[in-house]
């Protein structure tokens, strides 16, 4: 069930008072994102949280942006082994070689897709180019994956992406507003579903 926070706002019951997490919930999570480069960044970051909590990555997001050249796929695709070693010594990010190499592989796969079609068109095609609006009243009812995230995962893997399992893909879909998984009594759900006007 939604939680009434200290500021009097009903939000998804994420059991947190962390201002960074609450700001992310209020202003980013679940809001449709159509910018190809921002979608690429989020897909990479979601992969980085494998085996970790999202807040661990969220608090390091600016470090990741600085370390990975603002997630410019053209630059990342040309990273050398020396650059990877430099990243392995960067205490501001998760120093996991497989995950670092995954971002390099993802950049190359992204550029290959961009030669055929815009990445945002490719990504949004998995939900028919519009958000899927669910109606979950409590957080425990929200699934960890879906048929759409499974299909996305299979397709991305075939195209060379790494750390894109169906659960990671579903988290990515939630974060970028491809699905609206805010609880139905959360102010964001109502706003994003067009039933409540709220000035942010």
Active-site residues, by number, are 24, 46, 54
44 assigned to a ligand binding site:
no
188 assigned to a ligand binding site:
no
CA distances from 149 to 25, 60, 90, 114 (A): 21, 25, 32, 21
Residue 111, classified by CB atoms within 10 Å of its CB into exposed (0-12), middle (13-18) or buried (19+), is middle
Q: Cα separation of 150 and 23, whole Å?
A: 29
Contact 120, 36 (CB under 8 A): yes
Phi-psi region of 30 (alpha: psi -120 to 50; beta: other; left: phi over 0): left
Q: Is 40 helix (H, G, I), strand (E, B) or coil?
A: helix
182 assigned to a ligand binding site:
yes
Joined tokens for residue 136: 């979950």
169 assigned to a ligand binding site:
no
Residue 14, classified by CB atoms within 10 Å of its CB into exposed (0-12), middle (13-18) or buried (19+), is buried
Feature table: binding site for Zn(2+): 12, 25, 182, 186
Indicate the annotated binding residues: 12, 25, 182, 186
């Amino acid at each position: 069930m939604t939680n009434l926070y200290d500021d009097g706002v009903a939000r998804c019951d994420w059991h947190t008072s962390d201002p960074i997490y609450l700001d992310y919930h209020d202003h980013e999570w679940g809001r449709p994102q159509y910018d190809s480069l921002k979608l690429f960044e989020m897909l990479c970051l979601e992969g980085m949280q494998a085996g970790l909590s999202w807040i661990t990555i969220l608090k390091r997001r600016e470090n990741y942006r600085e370390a990975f050249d603002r997630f410019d796929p053209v630059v990342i695709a040309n990273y050398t082994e020396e650059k990877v070693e430099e990243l392995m010594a960067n205490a501001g990010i998760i120093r996991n070689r497989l995950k670092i190499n995954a971002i390099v592989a993802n950049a190359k796969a992204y550029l290959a897709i961009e030669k055929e079609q815009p990445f945002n068109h490719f990504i949004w095609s998995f939900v028919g180019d519009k958000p899927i609006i669910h109606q979950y009243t409590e957080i425990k009812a929200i699934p960890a994956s879906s048929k759409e995230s499974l299909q996305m995962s299979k397709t991305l893997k075939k195209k060379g992406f790494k750390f894109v399992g169906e659960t990671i893909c579903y988290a990515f879909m939630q974060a970028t507003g491809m699905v609206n998984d805010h609880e139905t009594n959360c102010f964001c759900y109502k706003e994003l579903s067009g039933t409540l006007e709220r000035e942010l």
